[in-house]
Chain A
Amino acid sequence: GQQLNQSPQSMFIQEGEDVSMNCTSSSIFNTWLWYKQDPGEGPVLLIALYKAGELTSNGRLTAQFGITRKDSFLNISASIPSDVGIYFCAGRGRVGVQGAQKLVFGQGTRLTINP
Chain B
Amino acid sequence: NAGVTQTPKFQVLKTGQSMTLQCAQDMNHEYMSWYRQDPGMGLRLIHYSVGAGITDQGEVPNGYNVSRSTTEDFPLRLLSAAPSQTSVYFCASIPQGAGNTIYFGEGSWLTVV
Contact = CB atoms under 8 A, between A and B. Distances in A.
A103 B32 CA distance: 10
Contacts of B96: 101
A65 interface: no
Given A101-B94, A102-B58, A108 B42 contact: yes
B48 interface: yes
B35 A105 contact: yes
A88 interface: yes
Contacts, number: 70
Contact of A104 (B45, B50, B107): B45
A22 interface: no
B41 A43 contact: no
Interface string B87-101: 000101010101011
Interface of A: 1-4, 6, 9, 31, 33, 35, 40-43, 45, 48, 50, 88, 90, 92, 96, 98, 100-108
24 contacts: A33-B102, A40-B107, A42-B90, A42-B92, A42-B105, A42-B107, A43-B104, A45-B100, A88-B43, A90-B102, A92-B100, A98-B50, A100-B54, A102-B45, A102-B48, A102-B58, A103-B94, A104-B45, A104-B59, A105-B35, A105-B43, A106-B42, A107-B42, A108-B43
